[in-house]
Amino acid sequence: MRHETVNESPGPRAAGDAGGAAASTEPAYLRIDNLWKAFGEFLALKDVSLRIGRGEFVCFLGPSGCGKTTLLRAIAGLDPQSRGTIHQDGRDISALPASRRDYGIVFQSYALFPNLTIERNVAFGLENARRPRAEIRARVAELLALVGLSDQARKYPAQLSGGQQQRVALARAIAISPGLLLLDEPLSALDAKVRIHLRHEIKELQRKLGVTTIMVTHDQEEALSMADRIVVMNHGVIEQVGTPVEIYRHPASLFVADFVGETNKFASRSDAGTVRLGRRTLSMARDDFADGEPLTVAIRPEDVLPQSAGEAASGPNRLAVVIDDMEFLGAFWRTHLSGGDLGDETLIANFSMNAVRRLNLERGASLTIEIPVERVLAFPGEA
């Protein structure tokens, strides 16, 4: 089973060495080993192991119910795991109560204290450590400046916009300089514009502070744009760990291919390093399948390359198709292909504006497409 190989030893592509900040020579900052979580009969986490390097920004990505939040809450000590261990900075925190762990947390709901002003909210974690008042005040001012809310200090949370509130929550969480920053769907409650803006800001802040950060999200775009590495989860197991590019370009499983980005799927069978698509056979890079093994072929829409009118449809991995329909989506045309070599299958392709203009593509037109060998992804089993 594939997910097991992923979990037990990070596979060739999922290995930490490819990850941005995760230097393989340094011991992992956060080490999760064989974590299980049971809610009654239901297993929310199944034997999850993971390493996160110091200063890394990691996203837990997956559909709802995949276990990503459960994993985060186990790390935070809010809902302890049923089995397994967690080490943070070399310290075994598996059974430590939340209050003795070292992290700051930001929730989707912001969880700002409504009856305290912004500055009191930010100061909340600073106030009991017998710090001099002046020092606290200075620190709060510094934090508010950091998140760009210096002029809002005396206001109450309800007087702020959602994005501002989330920045306050962030300032509050990092006020105590935690070793680990946990973000639980921090942007989900915000509208699209604010979300994109804040993505950038959070990432900037994280980089500036160098704090190891884990963010839970179900939004692949968010994960791809922010994370150093992404942990894709499904049904309580890690499907793949990798940089955003790895995850996108080389999904380790059909689930990942399907969940991250868009993909065309075809049921097929392996035949000496080729698969059938419609009336043609496509070569693929992988050849570790037994002949006749049922496969699912996955092709991303942007990997379908339109050929100039003169190009022959007979070359390797080339197909003659007809344009069924085209939707204009701003940056590109979403094009529905069928007929010709596709037989009964249909294929969705994203063609750039330029290509469409250059090749004069329009509804009903015939054209030749090429799917590069290394972009023909195949996964065992039928979808």
Query: Which spans of this chain sit near other proteins (rule: CB under 8 A)?
Result: 1, 3, 36, 38, 43, 46-47, 76-84, 94-101, 103-105, 107, 109, 111, 113-116, 124-125, 128, 156-159, 172-173, 175-176, 178, 182, 234-237
Q: At what angle do helices 133-146 and 162-174 cross, to 10 degrees?
A: 130
Would the CA dihedral through 169, 237, 296, 10 be positive or negative? positive
Q: Which is nearer to other proteins, 120 or 286 (CB)?
A: 120
Closest distance to other proteins from the beta carbon of 235 (Å): 5
The distance of closest approach from Cβ of residue 118 to other proteins in the complex, given in angstroms and rounded to an integer, is 11
Smaller CB separation from other proteins, 212 or 368: 212
Taking the complex as a whole, the smallest distance from the CB of residue 260 to other proteins amounts, in Å, to 18
DSSP state of 305: E
HSE (side-chain half, CA atoms, 13 Å) at 303: 18
Taking the complex as a whole, the smallest distance from the CB of residue 377 to other proteins amounts, in Å, to 20
Closer Cβ to other proteins, 48 or 277, answer by number? 48
Dihedral, CA of residue 108, residue 113, residue 117 and residue 122, to nearest 10: -70
Nearer to other proteins, 183 or 337 (CB): 183
Minimum CB distance to other proteins smaller for 22 or for 144? 144
> How far apart, in whole angstroms, are the C-alpha atoms of residue 382 and residue 369?
25
Closer residue to other proteins (CB): 79 or 324: 79
- Name the residue among 316, 313, 317 with its Cα closest to residue 304: 317
Minimum gap (Å) between residue 232 Cβ and other proteins: 14
- Residue 110 CB, shortest distance to other proteins, in Å, is 8
Backbone angles phi, psi at 227, to 5 degrees: -80, 150
Distance CA 18, CA 24 (A): 9
With 0-12 / 13-18 / 19 or more C-beta atoms within 10 angstroms meaning exposed / middle / buried, residue 236 is: buried
Closer residue to other proteins in complex, CB, 253/317? 253
- Return the number of the residue (109 or 338) whose C-beta is nearest other proteins: 109
Q: Are 376 and 282 in contact (CB under 8 A)?
A: yes
Distance CA 280, CA 202 (A): 48
d(CA 55, CA 326): 44
What is the residue whose two structure tokens read 């989707």?
108
Category of 236 on φ-ψ map: left (φ > 0), alpha (ψ -120 to 50) or beta: left
DSSP for 113-159?
-TTS-HHHHHHTTTTTS---HHHHHHHHHHHHHHTT-GGGTTS-GGG
Q: Closest approach of Cβ 61 to other proteins, in Å?
A: 18
Reported as type and span, the H/E element at residue 300 is none
Q: How far is the CB of 264 from other proteins (least distance, A)?
A: 22
Nearer to other proteins, 112 or 326 (CB): 112
Q: What whole-number distance in Å separates Cα of residue 260 and Cα of residue 61?
A: 9
State which residue, 76 or 378, has the beta carbon closest to other proteins.
Answer: 76
Phi-psi domain of 21 (left: phi exceeds 0; alpha: psi -120 through 50; beta: other): alpha
- The least distance separating other proteins from the CB of residue 180, rounded to whole angstroms, comes to 10
**How near is the Cβ of 162 to other proteins at its closest, in Å?**
14
